[in-house]
Structure 1
Amino acid sequence: MEELAYTEEQYTQELSPVVETVGENPVSISLVNYNAEQITERVNITAAESQTYLSDDSFTWIHVQGMPKPSEMREFGELFHLHPMALEDVINVGERPKTEVFDNQMLVILGLMNKKGSTILNEPLSFFLGENFLISFHNGERDPFRAVRRRLHHPDAPLRQRKLDYLLYVLIDVTTDLCFPLLDEFDEEIEQVEQQLFGPEGVDTFMTLYTIKRELLVLRLKLRPQREAIRLLMRDDNRMLEDETKVYMRDCYDHVMRFIDMLDIYRDMTTNMLDVHLSLVNKKTFISNEVQRKATVWAMLFAPLTFITGIYGMNFLNMPETKLQYGFFICIGAMVGLGVFLSIFFKRKNWL
């Protein structure tokens, strides 16, 4: 293995542009050293202690849970001869998912998607694959790979019989599978909104539908580069993975594609539901306008009749029509005739 020697000054210069983006939370480092015959597991160890387990007759998987400090990343870089550009990508939390192959090591950056309320969380996951070690970094609250460590303790497990590139596949497969519970959450939310849409609260579902559609869009945008990162792992010129492992990587690629396809289906559903919502709003607005229009027409119909009764309801002594023998019947007849005339007029105008 060709050594890459980096001094403290070089590391400071290389990493200084992104030092402020790294959190100061303490990390937990666990290690599994194994081969087909034996396995050793350590928890809460240091980077220097984990480096002592490297050997040619076993494989070492080191998992770093939490956000490493710059000093911890420099220590990992010096002990395992990690490329400084790769270290910078790991420290930069907002780095896009990607795959990069260096001389004798490979960096894979992915994201573990999670949802908290109406916010999509992208927990960065990074993997360094060397000749006899695999280092994984996960910036999140929970360790997603506990089940993988339990599987390693079974002597007949395929993980124990294969190289580290197969372990990398298993970790990536777990990462993609952990995204699928999000689909169940979206499915339940969309089903609830669909039931509300045709109920009394149908008009008030706009913001919920808009929020779901925005979440689906954000999630899809974050998964697209992840699909490309996994596709690069399957390339024929990738020397870090065996051909058999590349075949298994197709399964991870298919999972990401299926996830993206489901997101597209859910987006189409929310778009259609938004169209239905707007139609319902327009229908309710139309009905409301119709009611107001008819009420206005009826008010216009009775306005002149009210005017006539208002005039003859005034208490003046000298009103000539009040002394006519048939004045009352003449007034009623005039009012009825005027009402009939206005009704026919409004009917021909389609106002009634």
Structure 2
Amino acid sequence: MHFEQNISRKTGMPPGTPIYIGDEAPKETTIHLLVYSDQNISGFEQVSPEELTTNIQQGSNAWISITGLRDVALIEQVLNSFSIHPLVTEDILNTRTRSKIEEFDEYLFIVMTHFQRSEDEMHEEQVSLILTNNILITCSNSIGMFPNIENRIKRSTSRFRTNGIDYLAYTIIDTIVDGYFFVLEDLEERVEDLEDEIVNNPGKDTINHVQDFRRDLIWFRRKIWSLRELITRLERTDSLLIKNTTHLYLRDVYDHTIKIAEDVDVYREMAEGLMEIYLSKISNNTNEIMKVLTIIANIFIPLTFIAGIYGMNFEYMPELTSPYGYPAVLLVMSMVSATMLLYFRRKEWI
């Protein structure tokens, strides 16, 4: 069931109306809190909106993870407690939002698409980030706190303890961008398989496979360009929420997006080349078939001529009354056919 049909329900409603929109059913909403500083760290699970403000200590960094978008009222209550604009809440609940960044006076709002590989399948999930002075709020339908990042924060010697909350935001963004390389690996495997299929055994479905690959490339290219625009704006922003030290790390993320965009362009050119190779292969196969049919037709033309002469049934045709007429005609036909086949062979037409 596609819940994108909920878009029609928003017709006529005021901007900022919170309604879940997505391709899959929203999961149960849970809130997790991780509070840390250079000295201490505390984790809280299944916390209520009221407990968030009481457990966030002054001078500490706080990571609030909202997983599951089913309870719209609860999500709205949490975000309202931090004075988040209703339009931001609307974009969080719309899992079809393109990757983007919006700058507000007190916070930055970032939307990204996260790709995950599980059991040889690729899944995409929208992740929304709200970065304030010392609080980072992440929202998604199925992705909670990234386990590898959470484990790194718990180490007392990790950089998270001595850097601001913007470093945590950078780490999550970098992790999401790294997920795009999994998609590139799949695209590389697909283009190699298509190349082998086209060269060795093109079939009726080959053209459909190439078209599907090109369509997926266009879809992924749109994801990349919106991501590239997001990282560019984030790396060049003059917001005080992003420290100069974090800007250095964001440059590295920007380089990754450039690399991904360049690889996608290469695969796009390869896809166009595959289409040309396929059409050329089909044309060559057609020419081979036509060549064989032409050779067969050229062999039978003189044979048909000979048979036509002796099929006129004139009364005064000595070959018709000769006991050797029939085998003689067959011998002549065989010699003509053999001569033509030998000629075609020397010309390397067969």
Scaled by the length of structure 2, what TM-score is found? 0.81
Map of 2:21 onto structure 1? 21
Map of 1:85 onto structure 2? 87
- Once the two structures are superposed, the pairs formed by residues 246-257 of structure 1 within 5 Å of their partners are 246-257=247-258
| 1:271 equivalenced with 2:290 (yes/no) | no
Secondary structure of 2:63 counterpart = strand
Please say if residues 202 and 277 of structure 1, whose CA atoms lie closer than 8 Å, have aligned partners that are also in contact.
Answer: no
Map of 2:242 onto structure 1? 241
- Once the two structures are superposed, the pairs formed by residues 331-346 of structure 1 within 5 Å of their partners are none
Out of 201-210 and 146-155, give the one that drifted further. Answer: 201-210
Deviation at 1:160, TM superposition (A): 1.0
Deviation at 1:310, TM superposition (A): 4.1
Q: Provide the C-alpha distance between the structure 1 equivalents of 2:51 and 2:31, rounded to a whole number of angstroms.
A: 10
Q: Which of residues 108, 111, 114 is equivalent to 1:112?
A: 114
Distance change >3 Å, CA 68–CA 80, structure 1 → 2:
farther
2:263 counterpart letter in structure 1: M
Deviation at 1:127, TM superposition (A): 0.5
2:19 counterpart letter in structure 1: V
1:198 counterpart letter in structure 2: V
Distance change >3 Å, CA 97–CA 326, structure 1 → 2:
closer
CA deviations 1:30-89 (Å, max 9, x no partner) are: 211110111111223333322322232211101122224321222112222212222122
Unaligned runs of 5+ in 1: 1-11, 313-317
Q: Which of residues 119, 124, 127 is equivalent to 1:125?
A: 127
- Once the two structures are superposed, the pairs formed by residues 154-233 of structure 1 within 5 Å of their partners are 154-201=155-202, 205-233=206-234
Distance change >3 Å, CA 59–CA 89, structure 1 → 2:
same
Please say if residues 221 and 261 of structure 2, whose CA atoms lie closer than 8 Å, have aligned partners that are also in contact.
Answer: yes
Q: Which of residues 33, 36, 41 is equivalent to 2:35?
A: 33
- Who wins on radius of gyration, i.e. which is larger? 1
Q: Provide the C-alpha distance between the structure 2 equivalents of 1:104 and 1:165, rounded to a whole number of angstroms.
A: 13
Please say if residues 62 and 136 of structure 1, whose CA atoms lie closer than 8 Å, have aligned partners that are also in contact.
Answer: yes
Out of 180-189 and 193-202, give the one that drifted further. Answer: 193-202
Q: Provide the C-alpha distance between the structure 1 equivalents of 2:48 and 2:77, rounded to a whole number of angstroms.
A: 10
Deviation at 1:109, TM superposition (A): 1.0
Cα RMSD after superposing both structures? 3.5
1:243 counterpart letter in structure 2: N
Distance change >3 Å, CA 330–CA 80, structure 1 → 2:
closer
Q: Provide the C-alpha distance between the structure 2 equivalents of 1:94 and 1:64, rounded to a whole number of angstroms.
A: 18
Q: Provide the C-alpha distance between the structure 1 equivalents of 2:174 and 2:319, rounded to a whole number of angstroms.
A: 102
Out of 164-173 and 51-60, give the one that drifted further. Answer: 51-60
CA deviations 1:1-34 (Å, max 9, x no partner) are: xxxxxxxxxxx95533x52526543123221111
Please say if residues 20 and 69 of structure 2, whose CA atoms lie closer than 8 Å, have aligned partners that are also in contact.
Answer: no
Please say if residues 111 and 124 of structure 1, whose CA atoms lie closer than 8 Å, have aligned partners that are also in contact.
Answer: yes
Deviation at 1:265, TM superposition (A): 1.4
Map of 1:315 onto structure 2? none
Distance change >3 Å, CA 324–CA 299, structure 1 → 2:
closer
Map of 1:7 onto structure 2? none
Please say if residues 55 and 132 of structure 1, whose CA atoms lie closer than 8 Å, have aligned partners that are also in contact.
Answer: no
Q: Provide the C-alpha distance between the structure 2 equivalents of 1:145 and 1:20, rounded to a whole number of angstroms.
A: 23
Q: Provide the C-alpha distance between the structure 1 equivalents of 2:59 and 2:166, rounded to a whole number of angstroms.
A: 16
